[in-house]
Structure 1
């Protein structure tokens, strides 16, 4: 019998970008908060106990949707999507309501990364 792996909640989501300072400025404005940490090729934000880390593209990682997307819970997916699209994001998938009753949207930020949001079922 396999012992279940003890996993905690997600603690850090990394987005890789070509222009770190432009990404910091863009995310600071969208998130309405300043970074909590800067060092070398990365800058981290705290989003209610979960880190969002922007990291300069390197030989191991680059920006872009590649099969994994963490969904951030928000009060209103449509408001977030509209505001972010106004500031250069592109709707990649959604906004749409799925069979679970959740409202979801995947947004491509101006740096090529997926930022996904979900709204709990009404």
Structure 2
């Protein structure tokens, strides 16, 4: 389900070695997102559907790559979205697989190794 203005989740922080390149990539991955500029210009910020996507430099405390937490994004066409994201440089990491209720999920990795989950709802009966 897409985030709502009253969702308890307000931001997703993605750690990468090159936040500028990653911000450009995520803007392509989420073309409906709006770029938010900050001073100083030291991290990427995209606003989409009431959620802040914050792309920040990785460091010794939080590295880049798969580390256990994966945020899942609602998609209407899982195979089509996987194809679109892999054309942008992502790679299929896990799945696709059917889960409870007839939904489908998978994970792709961005070019920095971070996992993005994709979740397609079950077809309407």
Q: Which residue does the alignment assign to 1:3?
A: none
Shift of 1:96: 2.1
Q: After TM superposition, what 4+ stretches of structure 1 lie above 3 angstroms from structure 2?
A: 37-41
* Unpaired stretches in structure 1, ≥5 consecutive residues: 1-7
Q: Report the Cα distance in structure 1 between the residues aligned to 2:52 and 2:101, rounded to whole angstroms.
A: 27
Q: Which residue does the alignment assign to 1:10?
A: 9
Q: Report the Cα distance in structure 1 between the residues aligned to 2:37 and 2:95, rounded to whole angstroms.
A: 32
Q: Which residue does the alignment assign to 2:36?
A: 36
Structure 2 counterparts to residues 1-122 of structure 1, below 5 A: 9-32=8-31, 33-38=33-38, 39-122=40-123
State the Cα deviation string for residues 17-74 of structure 1 (Å, max 9, x = none). 1011111111112211342243453211112001111011122211111111111112
Q: Report the Cα distance in structure 1 between the residues aligned to 2:37 and 2:72, rounded to whole angstroms.
A: 22
- For this pair of structures, how many residues does the alignment match? 115
TM-score (norm 2): 0.83
TM-score (norm 1): 0.85
Q: Report the Cα distance in structure 1 between the residues aligned to 2:20 and 2:44, rounded to whole angstroms.
A: 9
SS of equivalent residue, structure 1 residue 75:
coil
